[in-house]
Copies of this chain bind each other. A is one copy, B any other.
Amino acid sequence: MEFDKIAVKSITLVDQVEEKILNYIVDQKLTLGSDIPPELTLAENLNVGRNVVREALSRLRMLGIVESRKHKGMVLREPDIMKCFSKVINPYLLSKHSILDLLDFRVSIESGISELIVDNITDEDIKELERIVERHVYQEDMKLKVENEIEFHSKLYRITGNQAIIDFQEMVLPLFNYVNMNFEDFKSINEKNKGKLVKHEDLLIYLRKRDVKGYRKAIYNHLKTYSEYIRQSRNMGKQ
C-alpha cells in the first residue's frame, strides 16, 4: 500500500489519517464501488489505533465518500455534493453575517439561472407552475406564505435539471423563513415593499414568452426586498 506518501502536518492524528485515506483512494485509482481496506488493516498500515481510523472513516462516511455495509466491508461511493451543507446551513449555528451572505448568494443564483430555466422550460412545466400559483390564494399567515414561496421556487429549480442547484437552493430557502420570523429589522422593509413587488403570476408572463431578459428583471424585482435588506444590514454593520 502507498500510505505515508505525503507528510501531512495537520494537528491531530485523525486529521492526518483522514487525508491519508483520501490520498490512498486517489493514488490507488479506486472507483465507485471499490473496496476500502478493513479498519484493522488501515490501522496497522498507518500505525495508529483502530479508533483513529474509525473517526476518520466516520467523517468520510458522513460526507458520503465511503459507505460501510455492516459485517461486510466498506466501499467507495460518490459523495452527495450538497449533503454536508444541510448540517452547516442551520440558522442557529450561523451568525447574521453568514446568513446574509447566503441570502445574497441565493438571490444571485436565482437571477443567474434565468437562462437555464428559459432554455429548459416545457409547456408542462408552465402548466404546473400555473397550478401552483392558482392554489396559492393570497393569505396573511406568514408560515403558509413562505411554504408557498418554497413550493413555487422549488419547481423553478427543478426546471434547471441541475441537481447541485436544486439541492443548494432548497437548502437555503428555509433561511428565508428564519429571516422572516426572527429578524425584527426585516419586518419594516418587508412591510414597506408590500404590494409593490413582482408576484409569481407576473414571472409566468415572461416564462410563457420565453423572455430571458424580462424574466431576469422580474425575478430580481421579486426578490428585491431581500436585496434591499441585505444592503441595508451590511451598511449598518459597517458603522
Q: Is A174 an interface residue (CB 8 A)?
A: no
Total interface residues on A, using CB and 8 Å? Answer: 52
Establish whether residues A113 and B102, one from each chain, have CB atoms under 8 Å apart when the complex forms: no
A residues sitting closer than 8 Å to B (CB atoms) are 14, 18, 22, 25-26, 32, 51, 54-56, 58-59, 62-65, 76, 78-79, 81, 84-85, 87-90, 92-95, 98, 101-102, 104-105, 108-113, 115-116, 160-165, 168, 220, 234
Using CB atoms, name the residue of chain B closest to A60.
Answer: B87
Task: Determine the distance from Cα of A112 to Cα of B111 in the docked complex, in whole angstroms.
Answer: 5
Using CB atoms, name the residue of chain B closest to A216.
Answer: B216
Establish whether residues A78 and B63, one from each chain, have CB atoms under 8 Å apart when the complex forms: no
Binding site of A, secondary structure by majority: helix, strand, loop or mixed? helix
Establish whether residues A105 and B58, one from each chain, have CB atoms under 8 Å apart when the complex forms: no
Using CB atoms, name the residue of chain B closest to A100.
Answer: B162
Using CB atoms, name the residue of chain B closest to A59.
Answer: B62
Establish whether residues A101 and B63, one from each chain, have CB atoms under 8 Å apart when the complex forms: no
Establish whether residues A162 and B101, one from each chain, have CB atoms under 8 Å apart when the complex forms: yes
Task: Determine the distance from Cα of A167 to Cα of B188 in the docked complex, in whole angstroms.
Answer: 32
Contacts A87-B22, A93-B65, A115-B111 given: A162-B104 contact, CB under 8 Å? yes
Number of copies of this chain that the complex holds = 2
Establish whether residues A98 and B164, one from each chain, have CB atoms under 8 Å apart when the complex forms: yes
Contacts of A90 in B (CB 8 A): 22, 26
Considering the complex of A and B, which 6 residue pairs feature the smallest CB-CB distances, nearest first? Answer: A112-B112, A84-B84, A108-B112, A101-B164, A55-B58, A111-B112
Question: Interface centre among A18, A51, A164, by most B CB within 10 Å?
Answer: A164
A-B contacts, 22 listed (Cβ < 8 Å): A25-B93, A32-B95, A51-B51, A55-B55, A63-B84, A65-B88, A76-B93, A78-B93, A78-B94, A78-B95, A79-B88, A79-B94, A81-B89, A81-B94, A81-B102, A101-B164, A104-B162, A104-B165, A108-B160, A111-B112, A111-B115, A161-B234
Contacts A112-B108, A165-B105 given: A81-B87 contact, CB under 8 Å? no
Taking a contact as CB atoms closer than 8 A, the residue among B25, B85, B102 that contacts A84 in the complex is B85
Taking a contact as CB atoms closer than 8 A, the residue among B95, B112, B116 that contacts A110 in the complex is B112
